[in-house]
């Protein structure tokens, strides 16, 4: 063997080279849920929309939401649809306009799930 090179011994498939636990504690289902939870918050426009809705107890007209963020109406509609599908906001029609409001309990549940998952990762 040449100086400076280590000889790597073959290892049987499925055996570990170290004594550490390498099986994930987070199940596939839980990892997917956490990923979805984080993804719904992982866009600046959605965060801005949630911010506006959180500071207004009543229902906010979609035209005011469109004026509040730096994107065009189709993009605002897209993000509001994603927030509705995630269960974080709801809307109500009044004539031509839709009025949106935050579902605070759903947002609190989301915060709890994310906090619990991140706390579990930090404690390991």
**Which residue has 């290892």 as its token pair?**
11
> Is 41 within the bounds of a domain?
yes
Q: What total number of domains does the chain contain?
A: 1
CA distance 61 to 94: 9
Task: Read off the pLDDT of residues 21-52 as tens digits, 9 standing for 90 and up.
Answer: 777 788 899 999 999 999 999 999 999 999 99
**115 Cβ neighbours under 8 A, 6+ residues apart:** none
Domain hosting residue 56, numbered range: 29-123
Task: Read off the pLDDT of residues 45-72 as tens digits, 9 standing for 90 and up.
Answer: 999 999 999 999 889 999 999 999 999 9
Q: Which of 30, 27, 79, 25 is nearest to 52 (CA)?
A: 79
> Is 57 within the bounds of a domain?
yes
> Is 76 within the bounds of a domain?
yes
Residue 85 scores a pLDDT above 80: yes
């Amino acid at each position: 063997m040449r100086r400076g090179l280590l000889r790597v011994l073959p290892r049987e498939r499925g055996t570990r080279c170290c004594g550490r636990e390498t099986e994930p504690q987070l199940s596939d289902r839980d990892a997917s849920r956490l990923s979805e939870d984080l993804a719904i918050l992982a866009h600046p426009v959605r965060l801005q929309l949630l911010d506006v809705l959180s500071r207004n107890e009543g229902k906010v007209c979609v035209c005011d939401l469109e004026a509040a963020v730096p994107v065009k109406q189709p993009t605002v509609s897209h993000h509001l649809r994603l927030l509705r599908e995630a269960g974080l906001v709801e809307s109500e029609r009044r004539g031509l306009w839709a009025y949106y409001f935050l579902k605070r309990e759903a947002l609190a549940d989301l915060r709890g799930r994310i906090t619990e998952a991140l706390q579990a990762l930090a404690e390991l």
